[in-house]
């Protein structure tokens, strides 16, 4: 396991903080602006490539500073180009993120926590929680995965972003101001942390909000998401306030689990709940990762979608990309953890004899 680094990590610092860092090295402040430009705008991840910095400074930086705190340890590419990364952090924790290509844009799905404390019953990430990610560890994922200067960013990987609020906000601001990604190109996904939604609304950023609902009533929702969450009514009130503050339509995410929440009566109840709400429903047929749950048939999925649209609710079926590279959140990390614990548990050569 890697040691916690004693080097100064640069990704995660604002231009102003990099100016202060440069000053602390006895350099002029504009060196900090140069560093920010190379790291955030040009995406350069080695000091050697920063050709307008004096060679001696580049050498010194190589000794005392680390550009990106993430080190990629595994990459899996699906036939559709979806690329899943697993990276190790300086303290040995691991985090995963996904690059998703489209014909004329790209999306990067980032994690905000190592593991997740929410524990959704159908999710591989919900099995363990290690810690919150620092802002630089969130932004670092984007810098490693992007192919274009300004991709779309969805905070939908491992973890509940609104439970890591300060680092989330710092990451949003860094991506917006330093990397140059418009707020409207970023989507924060939450399981329904009402206080966090209200705080996010007050930021004055037009970030999109996606809310994982997964059930049309509180009882079923509690069965699927055991974490203590406020009732749906309160959640919808916070979503309404978010819409009023940002004028961004809310997305509701609904994972369809065969025989659990995908029945026609669930669709009817969901439509009743969201009637007149400025929203869009994304239906996600379950990609089986937990033995207890199954994916509904295409016909069942289509029937659910049709029932919603017939009642005036905009709904689309979102097929998970890159399932052959373990595209569901948390899966790649879980496999790595197994490999590590397998090694830990394996008998030594002497014991095995």
Catalytic residues: 96, 329
Q: Binding segment for ligand SF4 among 18-26, 81-89, 156-164, 270-278 (CB under 6 A)? A: 156-164
For position 130 contacting ligand SF4 by CB under 6 A, the verdict is: no
For residue 116, the minimal CB distance to ligand SF4 (Å) is 3
Q: Binding segment for ligand SF4 among 18-26, 31-39, 123-131, 340-348 (CB under 6 A)? A: 123-131
For position 181 contacting ligand SF4 by CB under 6 A, the verdict is: no
For position 133 contacting ligand SF4 by CB under 6 A, the verdict is: no
Cα–Cα dist 188/180, whole Å: 17
Q: How many beta carbons lie within 10 A of that of residue 97, not counting itself?
A: 26
For position 161 contacting ligand SF4 by CB under 6 A, the verdict is: no
Q: By CB under 6 A, what part of segment 279-298 binds ligand SF4? A: none
Which position among 32, 126, 161, 216 is part of the footprint of ligand SF4 (CB under 6 A)?
126
Q: How many beta carbons lie within 10 A of that of residue 123, not counting itself?
A: 23
Classified as helix, coil or strand, 84 is: strand
For position 197 contacting ligand SF4 by CB under 6 A, the verdict is: no
Cα–Cα dist 330/2, whole Å: 21
For residue 321, the minimal CB distance to ligand SF4 (Å) is 16
For position 125 contacting ligand SF4 by CB under 6 A, the verdict is: yes
Total of chain residues touching ligand SF4, rule CB under 6 A: 12
Q: Binding segment for ligand SF4 among 6-14, 116-124, 258-266, 283-291 (CB under 6 A)? A: 116-124
For position 81 contacting ligand SF4 by CB under 6 A, the verdict is: no
Q: Binding segment for ligand SF4 among 92-100, 121-129, 130-138, 242-250 (CB under 6 A)? A: 121-129
Classified as helix, coil or strand, 315 is: strand
Provide the 8-state DSSP code for 171. H
- With vertex at residue 37, the alpha carbon angle to CA 31 and CA 38, rounded to the nearest 5 degrees, is 90
> Is the separation of the CB atoms in 292 and 325 below 8 Å?
no
Cα–Cα dist 128/164, whole Å: 16
Classified as helix, coil or strand, 190 is: strand
Strands (E), 78-143: 83-88, 94-101, 106-109, 113-115, 129-132
Cα–Cα dist 116/227, whole Å: 11
Which residue has tokens 């969901």? 270
Which position among 36, 39, 110, 116 is part of the footprint of ligand SF4 (CB under 6 A)?
116
Cα–Cα dist 316/308, whole Å: 10
Classified as helix, coil or strand, 350 is: helix
Q: How many beta carbons lie within 10 A of that of residue 318, not counting itself?
A: 15
For position 119 contacting ligand SF4 by CB under 6 A, the verdict is: yes
Q: By CB under 6 A, what part of segment 308-337 binds ligand SF4? A: 329
Of the pair 126, 216, the CB lying nearest ligand SF4 is at 126
For residue 207, the minimal CB distance to ligand SF4 (Å) is 18
Which position among 39, 53, 57, 120 is part of the footprint of ligand SF4 (CB under 6 A)?
120
For residue 123, the minimal CB distance to ligand SF4 (Å) is 3
CA 18 to chain centre: 25
Which position among 9, 188, 191, 281 is part of the footprint of ligand SF4 (CB under 6 A)?
191
Interface residues with ligand SF4 (CB under 6 A) are 116, 118-120, 123, 125-126, 158-160, 191, 329
């Amino acid at each position: 396991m890697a040691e916690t680094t004693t080097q100064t990590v640069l990704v995660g610092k604002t231009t102003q903080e990099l100016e202060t860092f440069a000053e602390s090295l006895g350099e002029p402040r504009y060196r900090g602006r140069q560093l920010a430009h190379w790291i955030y705008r040009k995406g350069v991840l080695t000091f050697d490539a920063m050709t307008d910095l004096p060679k001696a400074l580049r050498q010194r930086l190589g000794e005392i500073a680390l550009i990106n705190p993430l080190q990629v340890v595994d990459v899996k590419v699906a036939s559709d180009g979806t690329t899943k990364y697993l990276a190790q952090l300086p303290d040995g924790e691991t985090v995963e993120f996904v690059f998703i290509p489209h014909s004329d844009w790209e999306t990067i799905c980032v994690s905000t926590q190592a593991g997740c404390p929410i524990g959704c019953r159908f999710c591989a990430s919900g099995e363990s929680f290690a810690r919150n990610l620092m802002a630089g560890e969130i932004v670092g994922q984007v810098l490693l995965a992007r192919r274009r200067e300004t991709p779309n960013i969805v905070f939908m990987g491992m973890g509940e972003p609104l439970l890591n609020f300060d680092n989330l906000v710092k990451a949003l601001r860094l991506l917006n101001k330093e990397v140059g990604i418009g707020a409207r190109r970023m989507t924060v996904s939450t399981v329904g942390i009402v206080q966090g939604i209200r705080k996010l609304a007050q930021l004055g950023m037009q970030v999109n909000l996606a809310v994982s609902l997964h059930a049309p009533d509180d009882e079923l929702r509690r069965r699927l998401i055991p974490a203590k969450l406020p009732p749906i009514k309160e959640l919808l009130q916070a979503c309404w306030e978010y819409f009023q503050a940002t004028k961004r339509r809310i997305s509701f995410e609904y994972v369809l689990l065969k025989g659990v929440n995908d029945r026609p009566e669930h669709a009817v109840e969901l439509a009743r709940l969201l009637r007149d709400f400025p929203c869009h429903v994304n239906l996600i047929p379950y990609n089986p990762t937990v033995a207890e749950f199954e994916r509904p048939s295409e016909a069942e999925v289509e029937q659910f979608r049709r029932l919603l649209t017939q009642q005036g609710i905009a709904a689309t079926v979102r097929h998970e990309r890159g399932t052959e590279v373990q595209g569901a959140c948390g899966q790649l990390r879980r496999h790595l953890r197994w490999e590590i614990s397998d090694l830990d548990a394996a008998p030594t050569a002497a014991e095995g004899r």
